[in-house]
Amino acid sequence: MSQATQHTTERKRERVREMLREDFTPHDTSKQALYHEHDGKWRFEDISQRHHDGEQLYKDLGLKPFDRVLEKAAKTGHPVHRFPDTFLSSIIHTDDRDLLALEEGDLDYFAEQPRTRQRVMAWLADHPEVVEHLDDGGREIHGHSKPGKGKTSFVNVVGVGRNLEVNNDTILWMLMGDESGAIDEFEMLPVVRYMTALVPKDVEIQVTANPVDYRLPEVEVELDDVFRDVVEYEDPVDLFDKVVPGGLYGVLPDPQFRGCERIMAAAYNHPGEVDEPGEVTPLRDFVFAVHKVRAKYDVYLHPTTLIVDEFGDLLPKNPEADASDKHRKVTDWPATYGKMRKKNGSLFAMSHSLKRVHEDVLEKERWFATFPMTPTPSPMSGLGEVGLPKGYTKHMNKGQAAIWNGLHYAPVSWPNPYRGYEFNGEISISYPEWQEGMSDV
């Protein structure tokens, strides 16, 4: 390669890095940002005169304040208000103390919470017909459709943006990874300016930006070129010692599975320990250990939401009793999820089809989202009654969905979060040591 060609290539690489900087300039003025900027050396509770991430992110995503959305829904008789047991009950997270304060009209109870949540609570206090449909504890929305129907934008805008605005939950977006050790489905770009990467300690991680424009080269970048902060954890228990209320985190799985066997009482095999590729534990199984810690270890009790994509791969309908004890992990999920929910743990799960998900898992879930051009599920084992009419979403467009339970449904919509990006392409994260180990098995 000539010197001129090398210079041109480097110029193009720098252009890619420049696009990333323009798109993902970190939002660094919030309480959560300041805490991680100082490596957790300041007590989170002592950081005052700063807003929460959730008080700004919803604006960046093009959302109107939720209390105004609620007021308009009440005035127009929108199904979201007429059937509050659907979307409102699934997106507004409350515990028994919150509900008591609302029933008593004691808004002072919420005085220390973010202003966006205070406004929603004030609206609820004036609408007891909605409050009576709210439950205490965690919630879930399980979305389903084929790819390209809007599940990812829904999670970014509603599961993250609206969730932080209304609830100030701690959100853990679990990055699953495939058998090769690559995380190619990096789908949180609209919210990554607010996101801290939680990464396993002492593990080599490679990050690559691959533009769609064939004239631009693939470029190796650093995690903090994309994420706002990078924080290391040692195991799933230590992970919960690193997070703060209202924080948004992208969780990279630990390819060494440290602590997972002890937590789950189940096998976790990395490539250097087995003779056959099929005996290697998928990286996605790290989710089981994080889920179990949040449910049973009581190391972190602030309301928490787990975001899990490819839910049918994690919790398949017919799990095998394989070398990774998949059957044991899957059948343990429903009881563990019930415990997590009682401790204000919530879930946003996305699947291609509800038919692929284990029936005992479906039985524990109460709210579902069906996306455009997606058939309404038929009642099946575990799912129970379906409150959504047949064919309801066939005329919907991207950016719309129906939220339903066993009795009712309500349509919702959200803005496109992908507009205006300089960088058009994929961000890929991989573990070189894992990939090398897989090639040797």
Cα(59)–Cα(49) distance, rounded to whole angstroms?
20
Cα(132)–Cα(196) distance, rounded to whole angstroms?
36
What tokens were used for 75?
């005035």
pLDDT of residue 382: 86
For residue 408, what are the CA distances in angstroms to 85, 383, 393? 8, 14, 14
Residue at 2 is within a domain: no
pLDDT of residue 268: 97
The residue ranges of the chain whose pLDDT is under 50 are: none
Residue at 13 is within a domain: yes
Residue with structure tokens 């719309």? 400
Please give the torsion angle defined by the CA atoms of residues 162, 167, 169 and 171, in that order, rounded to the nearest 10 degrees. -10
Residue at 46 is within a domain: no
pLDDT of residue 34: 94
pLDDT of residue 421: 86
Cα(398)–Cα(253) distance, rounded to whole angstroms?
31
Residue at 27 is within a domain: yes
The partner residues of 230 in beta bridges, in order of sequence, read 197
DSSP symbols for 243-286:
--TT-EEEE---TT-TTHHHHHTS----GGG-SSGGGSPPGGGH
Residue at 324 is within a domain: yes
Say how many domains are in the chain.
Answer: 1
Cα(37)–Cα(21) distance, rounded to whole angstroms?
18
Q: Which positions ≥6 away from 402 have C-beta within 8 Å?
A: 369, 370, 388, 392, 393, 396, 409, 410, 411, 412
Residue 222 CA to its chain's centroid (Å) = 22
Q: Which domain holds residue 391?
A: 9-38+51-440
What tokens were used for 321?
């009793």
pLDDT of residue 1: 57
Residue at 3 is within a domain: no
Residue at 4 is within a domain: no
Q: Which positions ≥6 away from 75 have C-beta within 8 Å?
A: none
Nearest to 302 by CA among 121, 142, 167: 167
Nearest to 193 by CA among 250, 233, 252, 117: 250
Residue at 43 is within a domain: no
